Structure 1
Amino acid sequence: MPLPSEPLRKLGFLTIGLFDDADPRPGHESTLEIIRLGEELGFDSAWVRHRHLQYGISSPVAVLAAASQRTSRIELGTAVIPLGWENPLRLAEDLATVDILSGGRLNPGISVGPPRHYDQIKRALYPDSADAEDFSYERVRRLLDCVRGEPVSDFGGTEGFEVFSQRVQPHSPGLGRRLWYGGASLRSAEWAGRHAMNFLTSSVVKAEESEGFAEVQLSHIRAFRAHHPDGDTARVSQGLVVIPTDSATSAQREKYERYVAERTPRTAVPQGPARMMFARDLVGTSAQLAGQLYSHPAFREIDEVAFALPFTFEHEDYVQILTDLATKLGPALGWAPR
């Protein structure tokens, strides 16, 4: 628990990786440069979001494969891959390949449920099986089995000059322990715990037990650990939007504060039929942010974070925010760079 007397153990960050439709390469290069900078600053982990049919990273596994060749130490994660778009066996092959290329640094985060706007894209995504696809936790279980080396074929051995395996290849033995579930509900937290996954809890939760964001998030963390074989030591990472302003220019501070003000109204009450609750974005000096985080009940239950970078800022803004996170806020929370 990161109380003032107990240091934060792992500091990470999350980026969406925006790009220009007319010229997508600079945006992708910016993402790779931000990850490289994160390693230079001593961050423990860098995470990328996943966006389909938008102007953000649609193939995080490919981006992290590139990042693995530009870094040597920082852990690389996805937050999160929506499994409704994926074949678990094929995804397991890609994840294992990148994990091996990275030297065992991949932390895949996943979630389930139907793809967004499914009625509009299902014929393109699943032309022959759109109405039969299973988007339940069973899809996660299939991925877990594939990654953890369970047999996926009844045939193994030599056929002519070719050798076949009954399990997904390549097999990366440690990867199964580094799979994360990104959950916003109590049911997801419990399921992830029972299946010995790690748990990503972000700035979005479902208002099931109450309409207090921190209280709901805290209940998810405790439910996850109550159902996990590792109990209170099971890994949880919290992903709030946190914007330090220590070295920001006056123009940057004004922009950051305006961004937070525009997003704050949605945090007042649950949103939509699913009653989603959004955490308020945090902006201020590192001393101010540390105080706010220590007063957050869920933050006091965890010892690793992946602070989310705002969606729409410029590259130089992210450089300033990351630098302050690593040199100001991290140390204020007791963290030390690796």
Structure 2
Amino acid sequence: MKKIGFLSFGHWNPEPGSPLQTARETLIQSIELAVAAEELGLDGAYFRVHHFAQQLASPFPLLAAIGARTSKIEIGTGVIDMRYENPLYMIEDAGAADLISGGRLQLGISRGSPEQVIDGWRHFGYAPAEGEDVADMARRHAEIFLKHLDGEGFAQPNPRPMFPNPPGLLRLEPHAPGLRQRIWWGSASDATAVWAAQMGMNLQSSTLKVDETGEPFHIQQARQIRAFRAAWKDAGHAHEPRVSVSRSIFALINDMDRMYFGRGSDSDQIGHIDNFRGIFGRGYAAEPDRLVEELKQDEAIAEADTLLLTVPNMLGVEYNAHVIESILTHVAPALGWR
């Protein structure tokens, strides 16, 4: 069995003729797609976070709204850029969204991806400390976030408070029990996957990775997953971790599928991003029988317990529900995922 969710980047385009022209339309459709996905039996609704872009940027209002409209589906991010975050305020937002959903939040965080603007995190009031780079700053914010997420009191109470305080040091409220075990780190390298395991976070591995060996993407990603699990075991954590990978996978069922995605499956691509050589994983698009055979060869999907399907959100709720249903009906059972 494998958990399957969708991952939406939440694009919109204000140009005439665009099917999604406003942020409001994208937010409402995101909620409706999560509702439809739950009805189809999908396990998760995940959303990408990009600042200064015509995409989803503030995840917690959206996740809370989805949590209020659904009852079973996991809700999460893939990923929140910790360079931009006040970790204590984020604990309050995450706690509220998790409580509204009844403990279904699966929160992916990370160092972040290339930005729309130069040093956008500076506009949010953050800068690396002396001797840090931006990746160090993101990990520092993440460590503060994790440290206080368990709900232990740390703040000295005012002796003359506006409202009565419980005894002892105070924690941030609202507190969401169990959320600490549902934090994921989006890792692009073997080293950061090991660090995530040491910190007790689950692993999110996307379709972009540092090219560390020159091997095909799925082989490098599978090795990263195994390194994560070995580091988790060495760290001695009491619970089992989760690992997700994301893929673009389309079963070509009808003429519309073939029109949109029938150009054939992609191959891995190499590019330079943020001063490192990156490898971008291929997508999959084929008739169901062929698709099943191709996916059987993907070692990283086999290693992961959770698969996130990237969806073309601008094609609308109805078509994306069809894309999801096609995978659940024609692909997942043949691969033993259902």
The TM-score, its normalising length taken from structure 1, stands at 0.86
Aligned to 1:284: 286
* Structure 1, 96-105 or 288-297: larger mean CA deviation: 288-297
> What CA distance in whole angstroms lies between the structure 2 residues aligned with 1:227 and 1:156?
42
> Do the aligned partners of 1:200 and 1:237 also contact (CA within 8 Å) in 2?
yes
Are 1:268 and 2:269 an aligned pair?
yes
Q: Is the counterpart of residue 183 in structure 1 residue 187 in structure 2?
A: yes
Once the two structures are superposed, the pairs formed by residues 1-338 of structure 1 within 5 Å of their partners are 8-21=1-14, 23-112=22-111, 116=115, 119=118, 121-126=120-125, 130=127, 132=129, 135-155=137-157, 159-163=161-165, 166-228=170-232, 229=236, 233-246=240-253, 248=254, 250-258=255-263, 264=266, 267-272=268-273, 273-310=275-312, 312-336=314-338
Q: CA deviation at 1:303?
A: 2.6
Secondary structure, in 3 states, of the residue corresponding to 2:299?
coil
Amino acid at match of 1:19: W
Q: Which moved more, 1:196-205 or 1:133-142?
A: 133-142
* Alpha-carbon spacing, 1:254–1:140, altered in 2? closer, same or farther (3 Å): same
Q: Is the 2:250–2:261 Cα contact (8 Å) retained in structure 1?
A: yes
In 2: Cα distance, 1:231 partner to 1:213 partner: 31
CA pair 152-123 structure 1, distance change in 2 beyond 3 A: same
Which amino acid is the alignment partner of residue 252 of structure 2? T
Q: What percentage of aligned pairs have identical amino acids?
A: 32
TM superposition outliers: structure 1 runs of 4+ over 4 Å: 230-233
The one-letter code matched in structure 2 to 1:297 is E
For residues 252 and 240 of structure 1, what CA distance do their matches in structure 2 show?
17
Mapped to 2, the partners of 1:83 and 1:147 lie a distance apart of 15
- Give the match's secondary structure for 2:331: helix
The answer on whether the counterparts of 2:77 and 2:109 sit within 8 Å (CA) in structure 1 is yes
Q: In the aligned structure 1, how far is the partner of 2:328 from the partner of 2:202?
A: 24
Question: Quick one: structure 1 residues 131 and 74, their matched pair in 2 at CA, closer, same or farther if it must change by over 3 Å?
Answer: closer
Check 1:200–1:59 CA distance in 2 against 1; reply closer, same or farther (3 A cut). Answer: same
One-letter identity of the residue aligned with 1:240: R
Quote the offset at 1:236 in angstroms: 0.6
Which whole-Å CA distance do the structure 1 matches of 2:113 and 2:309 have between them?
26
Is this contact kept in 2: 1:82–1:111, CA < 8 A?
Answer: yes
Deviation at 1:188, TM superposition (A): 1.0
Matches of 1:223 and 1:215, distance apart in 2 = 12
* SS of equivalent residue, structure 1 residue 107: strand
Q: CA-to-partner distance for each residue in 1:207-264, whole Å, 9 max, x for gaps?
A: 0133421121011101110111359952111111111222x3x233122134x77xx4
Assess, with a 3 A threshold, how the Cα gap between structure 1 residues 334 and 123 changes in structure 2: closer, same or farther: closer
8 Å CA contact 1:16, 1:49 repeated in 2: yes
Distance in 1, Cα, partners of 2:119 & 2:198: 34
Residue in structure 2 matched with residue 4 of structure 1 by the alignment: none
Q: Which deviates the most, 294-303 or 182-191? A: 294-303
CA drift at 1:322: 1.2
**Whole-angstrom distance in 2 between the partners of 1:233 and 1:159:** 41
d(CA) in 2 for partners of 1:72, 1:65: 12
Give the residue type in structure 2 aligned to 1:16: F
Are the counterparts in 1 of residues 269 and 281 from structure 2 also a CA contact under 8 Å? no
- Paired AA for residue 73 in structure 1: K
Q: Could you tell me whether the CA contact under 8 Å between 2:128 and 2:137 is conserved in 1?
A: no
For structure 2, list consecutive stretches of 5 or more residues without a partner in the other structure: 15-20
**Gap runs ≥5 in structure 1:** 1-7
